Structure 1
Amino acid sequence: MADTTTRPLGAQISHMLKDRGVDVIFGIPGVHNQEMYRGIEEAGITHVLARHEQGAGFMADGYARATGKPGVAYVITGPGLCNIMTPMGQAYSDSVPMLVISSCLDEVAARRGQLHQMKDQRGAAETVCDWSEEARTAGAAYALVDRAWAEFSARRPRPKHIQVPIAQLEATAAAAPAPMPPTPVAGGRPMDIEKAQQLLAGARKPMFIFGGGARAGADAARKLVRKLGAASFTTYAGRGVIDPDAPLHFGSYLSRPESAGVIAQADAVIAIGTELAEVDLWRAQLGHDAPMLRVDLDTESLTDPARAAWHVPSDAAGFLAALERALEEETPRSSGWTPEEVTRARHKWRAEVDAEYPGVLRVAEALQACLPQDAMIYSDMTQFAYAAKEVWNMDRPGHWHHPYGFGTLGYALPAAIGGAIGRPGLPTLAIMGDYGFHYTMAELGVAVELGLSLPIILWDNGKLGAIEASMVGAQIAPNAVVARNPDFMKLAEAFGAGAVRPAGLSELQTAVAAAFRADGPTLIYVTPDIAD
């Protein structure tokens, strides 16, 4: 039975979100959105006070990636919304379900000079999210929340923004309607499975490309590649979909130029849950000559320049499960691929990464060896992560999160905080560079305040190393790539966090293990010479 209590709309929204499974909201209160805070505690929701709206947005993103539930943030009119637009853009790029609810001014056409006024707040937000709408009545607010929830489950999950005029937030409103049944997602239609079977029927060298959208279908994906004798690649976001020790798995080396030649050998290609975007390939085309079947919830991805022969609008998990069932009685097929050629390619590509990022792989190997099996990692735009996301094998999907598409600095720390909140008692790790830490270092105070056992690997090479290398490659004298850094150890201690600088790789492993047991976050300061 729906709640019939009358409350201000701002409070009703929190009660509505609680009824739809929201247990945490990230944000910062202000005079314009304070009515949204009236009902948070009464509804039984935990509020996490960020130090900046950008941090609140990344926390909501990290929470969503860790839990699979939408991340929710409350922000104020104008600057609050502008500050969270970078995380919204990142969530849009990486298919993260996030709901941002902001206040807005009651009237802007005939008045100027109001507090927090923008020319077009709703329109500005719309540039970085799936949609941005204004709810001018309680009924509209409730309908938009339910629309967001339905689309999070049935379509490609992406951030939404709802703004509510201040006067409406303050006005009395009846309670929201009861939650609707979950909206089913399309997947595994017989006609689509038949297409895939036709494509694979005579293939001796089938190739699967798995993206982040295929994570929920990992079990079926692993069975399929074994049954079909298929080779496979994953995108960075798709790591862990296939067992890294599978003999015909080429890993997450799609960005290596020679991977195009490997894919050209395939006589059938199936790409599942991936945009095949620039940030996946770093070239214009995948490299296939054979017919390709694309499976994706997003029709825009299905009709991109990759020019697939068959388009399957479906969720990956449903499609993979249905295809695996259809082939269940088949005898495992012999393969035209050999484990030896896969091993040679992987060793060569790994050596290339090692040459491009000297010393990083030794540190990554030491770090990987000491992490608990169920550790979840959040990384930033830093050379350490650029190398690791190619060579660091994941035994399960959805446990390494990175700002892949939008590529914003400052992601890792607040996103890891959100992830740790979403997985209480389970290990979470942040990896960032010295420059990225400058962007959101204030959120370290949140981790201290909440007592999160969060190891924070700070990789300090003293510069914007990737930008310097790019400038040199373009024959530009390196400029503006070095910034004066603070004493990061003292800075962490000033926040109340632990701080340690390991002298070698074994000390790094000891420090990480201790940080997982600590009563608060620990900054682990690492420089490239640790691998010497």
Structure 2
Amino acid sequence: MMTLSVGEALVQGLKARGVDTVFGIPGVHTIELYRGLPGSGIRHVTPRHEQGAAFMADGYARASGRIGVAFVITGPGLTNALTAMAQARADSVPILVISGVNRRASFGQGFGLLHELPDQAGMVRTLCPSLQITAPEMLEPVLNRAFALLESGRPGPVHIEVPTDVMPLPAALPALAPPAPAKVPEPGLLAQAAALLNRASSVVILAGGGAKHAAPALRALAERLDAPVIQTTNARGVLFDHPLSLPASPSLDATRSVIAGADQILAIGTEFGPTDYDMYMRGGLPDMSGMIRIDLCPEQLARHPAACRIEGESGASLAALLPLLQSKSGDGAARAAQGRSAARAELTGLHPAMPHQLQMVEAIRDAVPGALIVGDSTQPVYAGNLFYDHDRPGGWFNAATGYGALGFGPGAAIGAAIACPDAPVVCLIGDGGLQFSPAELRVARDENLNLTFLVWNNAGYREIAEAMIAADVPVTGCTPSPLRLEAFAAACDLPYAGVDSDPAALRAALETPCNGPRLIEIRAT
């Protein structure tokens, strides 16, 4: 029998658990992890920065519904990845970050070793679970524990660290743990929820990111209840172009009016985060204390008052609830239509340019049907988060909610394109955000991905400048010079096109055939 090292056995353990892609930058502390990659069947993608590696793992996980994996070096590799891990935590995205750590005898000694941190695992544990493989026999239980955390309850990042003196030690292949039993919604709670919904005359559904993989069940339940479905950012696309769809932020008065007009609320997979429910921090949400909540996370369920709390996965819970519900007919479609019309009109009052920015986003959708649109924090993304109907469940996601990390877009879009090679992917990013992670565009070229980088160039941090003006603060630090994007595209070996901020021109540029990645500049100044 061939003897494997811990590093080789770990790679085989990942393969056995369904991992097919790893995003990583090798270093002297992770060479033993890389020994087992050739011949494993796992694809390795090399980003240009460890933050990009973890953003790629995030985009891969969001697009595929599987776990995204990143390999990073001890110390700076891991600290570089922490921003992306925090974004994944905020948006409940399952990513596994595997790093090295210095030899066991050095822990806490302060020897000044290469890449040394005082307590690397302790640092990470302020953000997410961090597990250590400090002996070969710990490989199996640590891998099983990590995947149990990633695959049950509220997902998020998990970290594993392997000391440099443990990686080369001989190890056995880690056996798979038996699958955990599926969490079954409690029948009594389902009956209670059904009774509340059956008594109601006007139901509204709040769908969050936890519902994006349950689109068929959500559609059937909404139609049974004749209930408008309000979708937060990460739920967009679950009811595209449906009469009951209200793809609008609960931060808008129009959306809140629909909520206030209901006599029962069903909230599915939503955490009620302020960047979705109170973006402008003005309060005034309707009283929702009598709602019914469905969520994977018991801690999340406990955070807000509710008449009925059901712990469970959205699709299974909705499928179990549906047979208990009486069919309703009424004004659900009219309430949703009125909400859509009022929400779109409300954008003008928030900012005179928002309706145009929304038209630009809709031009992307219409030109590239079924695309994954991966956004950064930029003005048209903010507009779309407030009101936009996407044509693919889980196909609209960005970093402009939750943690709000600039530079998310390129890495996450690359991860999404690798996860879904048959789907077109569009990275919508501002010129300021692009400069946080410009080098990752070379990865799209290396991998020849079906990916368009769409750069909204307003020559600076326009959103921040306008916030400073609104707060009567002198505009400072908001005009970093933009890249000369045609020359930059050439440096990345990407085809380039430039268009003015016009929906028809953008649509024509997007419809122009291109084999592989490209860059399109929208001149928004």
* TM bin (shorter chain): over 0.9
1:12 alignment counterpart: 9
1:344 alignment counterpart: 338
Pair 1:37 & 2:31 matched: no
Segments of 5+ residues of structure 1 without an aligned counterpart are none
Q: Is the 8 A contact 2:249 2:276 kept in 1?
A: no
5 Å-filtered alignment, 1:148-163, equals 148-163=146-161
Pair 217,522 (structure 1): closer, same or farther in 2 beyond 3 Å = same
2:510 alignment counterpart: 512
> AA paired with 2:338?
R
1:274 alignment counterpart: 270
5 Å-filtered alignment, 1:151-230, equals 151-177=149-175, 179-230=176-227
- In the comparison of the two structures, how many residue pairs are matched? 515
Pair 116,528 (structure 1): closer, same or farther in 2 beyond 3 Å = same
Aligned equivalents of 2:284, 2:85: Cα separation in 1? 28
367, 378, 384: which one pairs with 1:388? 384
State which drifts further: 412-421 or 211-220. 211-220
Q: Is the 8 A contact 1:188 1:321 kept in 2?
A: no
Secondary structure at 2:92 match in 1: coil
Aligned equivalents of 2:288, 2:364: Cα separation in 1? 39
Pair 1:47 & 2:44 matched: yes
1:367 alignment counterpart: 364
State which drifts further: 498-507 or 46-55. 498-507
Aligned equivalents of 1:528, 1:344: Cα separation in 2? 31
Aligned equivalents of 1:472, 1:456: Cα separation in 2? 30
Measured after TM superposition, the shift of residue 286 of structure 1 is: 4.1
Segments of 5+ residues of structure 2 without an aligned counterpart are none
1:334 alignment counterpart: 329
> AA paired with 1:316?
S
State the identity as a percent: 37
5 Å-filtered alignment, 1:13-412, equals 13-106=10-103, 107-129=106-128, 131-177=129-175, 179-246=176-243, 248-282=244-278, 283=281, 284=283, 286-288=285-287, 291-304=290-303, 306-327=304-325, 330=326, 332-335=327-330, 337=331, 339-355=333-349, 356=351, 358=353, 359-372=356-369, 374-403=370-399, 404-412=401-409
Pair 290,156 (structure 1): closer, same or farther in 2 beyond 3 Å = closer
1:456 alignment counterpart: 453
> AA paired with 2:67?
P
Aligned equivalents of 1:139, 1:91: Cα separation in 2? 30
416, 427, 452: which one pairs with 2:424? 427
Q: Is the 8 A contact 2:191 2:324 kept in 1?
A: no
Secondary structure at 1:128 match in 2: coil
> AA paired with 1:434?
D
Measured after TM superposition, the shift of residue 289 of structure 1 is: 5.2
State which drifts further: 448-457 or 499-508. 499-508
> AA paired with 1:352?
E
Aligned equivalents of 2:143, 2:379: Cα separation in 1? 39
Measured after TM superposition, the shift of residue 272 of structure 1 is: 0.9
Aligned equivalents of 2:435, 2:398: Cα separation in 1? 17
Secondary structure at 1:186 match in 2: coil
> AA paired with 1:411?
F
Aligned equivalents of 1:111, 1:79: Cα separation in 2? 16
Secondary structure at 2:476 match in 1: coil
Q: Is the 8 A contact 1:274 1:296 kept in 2?
A: yes
Q: Is the 8 A contact 1:458 1:525 kept in 2?
A: yes
Q: Is the 8 A contact 1:189 1:319 kept in 2?
A: no
Q: Is the 8 A contact 1:188 1:320 kept in 2?
A: no
Cα deviation per residue 1:170-217 (whole Å; 9 max; x = unaligned)?
Answer: 21212222x233323313331121011121121011121111101222
Q: Is the 8 A contact 2:375 2:397 kept in 1?
A: yes
Secondary structure at 1:480 match in 2: coil
Q: Is the 8 A contact 2:97 2:157 kept in 1?
A: yes
Aligned equivalents of 1:227, 1:417: Cα separation in 2? 39
Cα deviation per residue 1:158-181 (whole Å; 9 max; x = unaligned)?
Answer: 11001011000021212222x233
Pair 427,357 (structure 1): closer, same or farther in 2 beyond 3 Å = farther
> AA paired with 1:37?
Y
Aligned equivalents of 1:300, 1:55: Cα separation in 2? 30
Secondary structure at 2:253 match in 1: coil
1:483 alignment counterpart: 480
Aligned equivalents of 2:449, 2:312: Cα separation in 1? 38
Q: Is the 8 A contact 2:252 2:386 kept in 1?
A: no
Secondary structure at 1:501 match in 2: strand
Aligned equivalents of 1:381, 1:316: Cα separation in 2? 28
Aligned equivalents of 1:114, 1:453: Cα separation in 2? 42
Q: Is the 8 A contact 1:354 1:360 kept in 2?
A: no
Q: Is the 8 A contact 1:154 1:184 kept in 2?
A: no
Q: Is the 8 A contact 1:268 1:290 kept in 2?
A: no
Measured after TM superposition, the shift of residue 466 of structure 1 is: 1.5
CA RMSD in angstroms comes to: 1.8
Q: Give the TM-score, by structure 1 length.
A: 0.93
State which drifts further: 504-513 or 311-320. 504-513
Aligned equivalents of 2:466, 2:181: Cα separation in 1? 47
Secondary structure at 1:506 match in 2: helix
Aligned equivalents of 2:313, 2:229: Cα separation in 1? 19
Aligned equivalents of 1:502, 1:259: Cα separation in 2? 34
Q: Give the TM-score, by structure 2 length.
A: 0.94
State which drifts further: 108-117 or 35-44. 108-117
State which drifts further: 47-56 or 251-260. 251-260
> AA paired with 2:190?
I
